Structure 1
Amino acid sequence: MHPIVLAANQPADRFYRGGERIAAFRAGGADLAVVARPTTGLAIPEDWIGSLTTVFGESELGLTRLPSGELLRDAVEADPVAWLGLAHAAVRGCDPALLVKLLDAGQRLPVHAHPDVAFAEGMLGLAHGKTEAWIALAPATVHLAFARDVTAEQLARWVADQDTAAMLGAMHTLPMAAGDAVLVPAGLPHAIGEGALVVELQEPTDLSILLEWSGFAIDGAALGHLGLGFDVALAAVDRRGWSEDEVAALVRSRAGTVGPLLPGAEAFFRADRLHGGDGWEAGLAVAVVVAGHGEIVTDGAVTAVRSGETALVPHAAGDVALRGDLTVLLARPPAP
């Protein structure tokens, strides 16, 4: 087995705009900070990389297909040790414990939150919630966490009235520079701002509780509560007021960092920035080439890659080295 360069995997007709800069990124060489904001109404703002996860409520949408046409999910189920490694498979079976995306916010995303593991397990029978992280490829503004305590009654009223001004007015607003890494614990309300282009790491679910949907192409009143009803779903939202210092601690200014980008997040995922001459030990990995060109070198293969390409590296490929003038964002599941 060897590294596999993946084609784009973009679920269509999402409820928010974007996708132009994913296309520009995958074409290589574009200045992503100045690519024009969408004017076409394109609604393919996400690229699900190496995905064994489906869009919520779907049976296949979101899953990655290998160049052979086989679903990655089926390949992993047929040989989890080869793809994930013996130690990982012994603990998690066929569960990769990771989903990686490119996300191009052609408009500000709605205010929303994701359930944690305990809520997902108790209410939905799932093994994962949705803690996530963003690694910025272009600067943008984000809204993250409430700045003051919000009562359950206040939140329910804001959602019922779709009082976006009250929601955003109660949240921290902060700039995200290119290269920054932002950890978003499950439960924390957030909204990625227009113009953001990020590599997103997350637990492998598509669980979102919409607090806002007015003006977006989705019936949030019917679809925004995971089928649980808002009286239940809103209990998953962190209504605590976070201090400026607490929120700042979630944003790691990592523009020049080589090595780990998300210290403290290792229970959910691992992220590193690497260059030519760096490498990593055998294990399932997603490599996003964000600059330059070079090669992914394993025991049995040399795989040429360039800026804008994404590669899936199975455990059985062995230890990996990077060669050439390139920068890679490496996403891996938690260590077994």
Structure 2
Amino acid sequence: MQAFSIEQPGNPNSLFLKKRASITPGAREVLVRIRANSLNYRDLLILRGDTFNVRPGLIPLSDGTGDIVAVGDRVTRAKIGDRIAATFFPRWIGGRVRPGYISEQRGSDVDGLLCSHAVISEEEIVHLPAHLSFAEAATLPCAALTAWSALTGPVPVIAGDTVLIQGSGGVSLFALQFAKLFGARVIATTSSADKAERLKELGADDVINYKDTPDWEFAVRKRTGGLGADHIVEVGGLGTLTRSLKASAVGGQIALIGRLTKVEDFDPSALSQSVSTVRRITVGSRDGFDAMNRAIAAQQLRPVISRSFPYSKAMDAFRAFESRSHVGKIVIEHE
């Protein structure tokens, strides 16, 4: 077995590929040959040592797909040859999120999947949509499920709703794809004319350049006839939440996901003046992952991949991700 590990947490240059002892699955576990991974913003934070405290020797990355090469003698949910992904939260099978479910997160609290093989509990595996490659499916466990949870919560998106997405990262693009699948109108914000054109190609009905229009919340209201957006996928965090609250419709739903901006930019008075629901999103459960995959399979939806790197060049993938020049997911494919 081989695995990349972070040898010195906080040192972004301490990601090394090392040989490890062979592993075998327990009675209710499967051994997976990892075929592809994808990167998320949290993976970059973990590598840099920002906000996450991880142990030396941690294998990073929450997202990975592969095929099962061995099974324990009591496994009933899978067989050798099945194409699978692991869940972000190994303990969260279904239902409401509980403290015990989120105490372990793959790639931070427990080892991730930037490795040649991994032993995974049969309870957390999810079978892949048949039409997707390993690389395409590797984009699903974190970003796609987060977007799915954001739009299918207590007040789900319905046809005719307006959905506002921010930027062109993985969560935002999946939210765009899912919103169009549900028959919604999508308004996107971006800072780049090139990215604006790409967002339109992917289905965005309207795009606002927030560098040209820094008060984009008023532009959203104007382009919705003064009503505001019914659903907002808030990836900026508290720093852009003030603008999202002002852009939201009465009774609107704001899915709070990211933390890309400064907390001090938040104006608490905007919350008391809004008639919106703000809901914090924590990726999702295995049952939610299965439901999302059924929708992806039924509609033959394909994730947007920006660039692919070979397994041996994993550090180059991190550097490309950090440049923030991509539109869509950055993936790593194993040789």
TM-score, normalised on structure 2? 0.26
Q: 1 or 2, which has the higher helix percentage?
A: 2
TM-score, normalised on structure 1? 0.26
